Amino acid sequence: MVLYIGIKKIKKTLDTYWFFTVYLDMKIKGNNMILLDSVGTFLDTDNGITYPAEVNDSGFTRTFTPDLDSPYPLADIKEDEWVLSLSKTDFDVVANYLSNN
């Protein structure tokens, strides 16, 4: 399991930063999870199921874990707002999954 630690500036005018961690190539029950940060959702690239991202804040450290109790198929997402909220990088991940499955 690879751990990615990042720093994200949250205010342009102030020097305020959040430290966050995301487990890349997260293996849970044999699933490959990718965090779609722009919409706060994990995508399981094995089966196309999405899970809301739970944010765990502890001071300046922020970790994200999938809420495995709330699965939702990617194919059933019909909300334009969700799709339009995807960043370019996250959109590419979703488009790549959909084009290969």
At 34-82, the pLDDT tens digits run 999 999 999 998 899 999 999 888 777 778 888 989 999 998 988 889 9
**From CA 42, how far away is CA 47, in angstroms rounded?**
12
**Total domains present in the chain:** 1
Percent over 70 (pLDDT), the chain: 69
Whether the predicted model's global pTM rises above the 0.85 cut = no
Q: Which amino acid is at 61?
A: T
DSSP one-letter string for 1-55 = -EEEEEEEE--SSS--EEEEEEEETEEETTEEEEEEGGGTEEEETTTTEEEEEEE
Structural domain that includes position 8: 2-100
Q: Classify 59 as helix, strand or coil.
A: coil
Position 6 confidence tier, pLDDT thresholds 50, 70, 90:
very low
Could you tell me the end-to-end alpha-carbon distance of the chain, in angstroms, rounded to an integer? Answer: 25
Q: What are phi and psi of 88, to 5 degrees?
A: -60, -45
pLDDT at 5: 44
